[in-house]
């Protein structure tokens, strides 16, 4: 198990006060953050830009030293026993970083494997297994500069698994990928946890990925933990408004008035928008389900319903709500 307890990271940065004067200022990137990673489970670390997500990952993977607090990996301290911890962790970042484009896919894996002390037949077997696992065996001897974005990201996964880590940190792993390729990668990530017993920490701006993959979610704001629960419980716990949307062919003044009254009666709000199809989209927001009274009202006005849908609060709504509440 990976256990982070009261982890804090402070950077000292130079701040220019005048043409001739500078002073050092402390910036707190992570503040008293605690969480756990368990093999076979995926946790999400969410927050708006600058929340401290990447800094947290770098501390857990021994790339940065915490200012205070402790991170232990299977009982080993990430600072004092970093040599043992490095053998148990790895990181996969989105985009096209961490690869050498002029080398082939196989040569990249040979290089990164050697950094972990792998060599000889054991390294060759490991590389062949990973290339097959990510579907790059046939392209193993092709220079990475000729890989597509999806192929590069699959090679990133192979690189991140080269040392067979028990703990894997995924920092925006599907960034910039087409939808079908991103879907394949999500499936692969899910299997790494469920079938191979990896403990995975995921950061992503694609909230649907987190909702799909994560067993638990930690939300941080300005480096501080503000919420922790399952995705389902988080969206329900704040009792955010549900959006009920209906599309109708026309909107009379009397119907508009009654829709406004309906929303007010249930403590909600009403929004009206004309669509490109010259129809009207009515959105009722509130904490109470207004579907039945809405349909009754439309029937009384003899207004046909062209489309009806309900939009439940998402994790994105939760994050934005918490950021607003904390004055972000």
Q: Across residues 105-124, what is the average pLDDT? A: 96
Judge whether residue 327 has pLDDT over 70: no
For the entire predicted model, the pTM comes to 0.79
- In this prediction, what percent of the chain has a pLDDT beyond 90? 66
Please tell me the distance from the alpha carbon of residue 238 to that of residue 323, in angstroms, as a whole number. Answer: 13
Strand 89-93, strand 76-77: pairing = unpaired
Strand 242-248, strand 2-16: pairing = unpaired
Question: Does the domain spanning 38-58+77-232 belong to CATH 3.40.50.300?
Answer: yes
Q: Across residues 270-278, what is the average pLDDT? A: 84
- pLDDT per residue as tens digits for the range 202-232: 998 888 899 999 999 999 988 899 889 999 8
pLDDT recorded at residue 222: 85
| 242-312: CATH superfamily | Ribosomal protein S10 (3.30.70.600)
Please state the domain extents for the chain.
38-58+77-232, 242-312
Judge whether residue 326 has pLDDT over 70: no
pLDDT band at 50, cuts 50/70/90? confident
Q: Is 178 helix (H, G, I), strand (E, B) or coil?
A: coil
Judge whether residue 72 has pLDDT over 60: yes
pLDDT recorded at residue 181: 83
Judge whether residue 162 has pLDDT over 70: yes
Q: Give the best-scoring range by mean pLDDT among 21-30, 96-105, 180-189, 191-200.
A: 191-200
Judge whether residue 142 has pLDDT over 70: yes
Judge whether residue 328 has pLDDT over 70: no
- pLDDT per residue as tens digits for the range 171-198: 988 887 888 888 888 998 999 999 999 9
Q: Across residues 138-164, what is the average pLDDT? A: 94
Q: How far is CA 255 from the centre of its chain?
A: 42
Q: Do the Cβ atoms of 169 and 189 come closer than 8 Å?
A: no
State the chain's mean pLDDT as an integer.
Answer: 90
The angle at the Cα of 268, spanning 267 to 274, to the nearest 5 degrees, equals 155
List, in sequence order, the alpha helices (H) in 134-246. 149-160, 179-194, 207-213, 231-237
């Amino acid at each position: 198990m990976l256990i982070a307890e009261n982890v804090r990271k402070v950077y000292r940065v130079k701040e220019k006060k005048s043409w001739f004067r500078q002073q050092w200022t402390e910036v707190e990137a992570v503040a008293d953050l605690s969480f756990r990673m368990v093999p076979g489970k995926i946790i999400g670390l969410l927050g708006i830009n600058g929340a401290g997500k990447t800094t947290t990952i770098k501390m857990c993977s021994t790339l940065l030293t915490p200012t205070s607090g402790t991170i232990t990996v299977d009982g080993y301290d990430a600072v004092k026993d970093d040599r043992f911890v490095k053998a148990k962790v790895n990181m996969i970042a989105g985009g096209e970083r961490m690869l050498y484009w002029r080398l082939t896919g196989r040569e990249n894996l040979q290089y990164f494997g050697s950094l972990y002390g792998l060599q000889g037949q054991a390294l060759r077997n490991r590389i062949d297994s990973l290339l097959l696992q990510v579907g790059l065996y046939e392209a193993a001897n092709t220079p990475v500069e000729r890989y597509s974005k999806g192929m590069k990201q699959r090679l990133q996964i192979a690189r991140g698994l080269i040392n067979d880590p028990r703990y894997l940190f995924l920092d925006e792993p599907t960034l910039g990928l087409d939808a079908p390729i991103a879907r394949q990668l999500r499936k692969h990530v899910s299997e790494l946890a469920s079938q191979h017993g990896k403990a995975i920490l995921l950061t992503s701006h694609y909230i649907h990925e987190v909702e799909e993959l994560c067993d638990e979610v930690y939300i941080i704001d300005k480096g501080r933990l503000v919420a922790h629960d399952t995705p389902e419980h988080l969206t329900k716990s704040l009792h955010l408004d549900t959006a009920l949307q209906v599309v109708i062919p026309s909107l009379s003044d009397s119907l508009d008035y009654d829709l406004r009254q309906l929303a007010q009666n249930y403590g909600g709000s009403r929004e009206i928008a004309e669509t490109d199809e010259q129809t009207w989209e009515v959105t009722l927001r509130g904490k109470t389900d207004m579907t039945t009274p809405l349909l009754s009202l439309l029937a009384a006005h003899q207004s046909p319903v062209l489309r009806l849908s309900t939009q439940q609060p998402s994790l994105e709504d939760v994050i934005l709500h918490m950021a607003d509440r904390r004055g972000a």
